[in-house]
Amino acid sequence: MSLKKYLICVHLILPFFICLSSFAEELHILQPTFEDEPTILELQRAAIRYAEVNPNKITNWRRQAAIKALLPEVSVGYDKNTYRTVSSSSSKGEITFAVGPDDLSYGWDFSLSWDLGELVYNHDQTTIDSRSKLMVQLRNDILEQLNQAYFERKRLQAELIKYPDKTSQAYQERELKIEELTATIDGLTGGYLSRRIEGKF
């Protein structure tokens, strides 16, 4: 290749490498922020924990209801009775009455009873089933909101790379929207996203 052709190739290719280098530098600036953020799975777990809608909660309720059916119903009673004694005597045609002493009696009773029908069908299960349906619906609603906010935020983060000028309106609009979505995710997870970004745990 002649020197002239070589210089022409360099002249044509050089701007491309300059743009590529600028893009790589911008990507390098943004990418660590992305990598330091929690995954969607981590955020989902944080949201479930924060809203107290873990499926294990229902499992524990069912286990406790089953144990309750095995436990007896305990009844304890205490009785106190007072009997007044009245006696009479007759002397020379006169009748005399005497009262007392009183007779006192105390009694304790203790009983255990089982409802064997509870072993077959526990009435608490009806309440647990209703709560379970409500909890599943609530959990699904929370995860749906979280997923939408998370992936919309990721999309906007990727778009920021296209705008190297951080003072441009397009960049600032997307950055503001990212902050809004961050607040939404924090609201669903109890601030988990922001704490992770700030390195607080």
Cis peptide before 164 (omega within 30 of 0): no
Is residue 190 within 8 Å of 50, Cβ to Cβ? Answer: yes
**Residue 115 CB-half CA count within 13 A:** 12
Phi and psi at 68, nearest 5°, equal -60, -35
3-state secondary structure of 23: helix
Q: How many CB atoms within 10 Å of residue 132?
A: 17
**What is the reported pLDDT for 13?**
58
Residue 40 has pLDDT above 50, yes or no: yes
Q: pLDDT digits over 9-37, tens only?
A: 545 555 544 444 554 444 444 443 566 78
How far apart CA 140 and CA 164 sit, in angstroms, is 38
Phi and psi at 168, nearest 5°, equal -70, 155
Mean pLDDT, range 169-186, rounded to an integer: 94
How far apart CA 25 and CA 174 sit, in angstroms, is 20
Is residue 58 within 8 Å of 131, Cβ to Cβ? Answer: yes
Model confidence at 119, in pLDDT bands (50, 70, 90)?
low
Considering only residues 161 and 85, tell me which one the structure prediction assigns the higher pLDDT. 161
**What is the reported pLDDT for 32?**
39
In b/e form, how buried is each residue of 6-27, taking b as 16+ CB within 10 angstroms? Answer: eeeeeeeeeeeeeeeeeeeebe
pTM: 0.58
**What is the reported pLDDT for 116?**
63
Q: pLDDT digits over 56-90, tens only?
A: 888 887 777 777 767 777 788 877 777 666 666 66
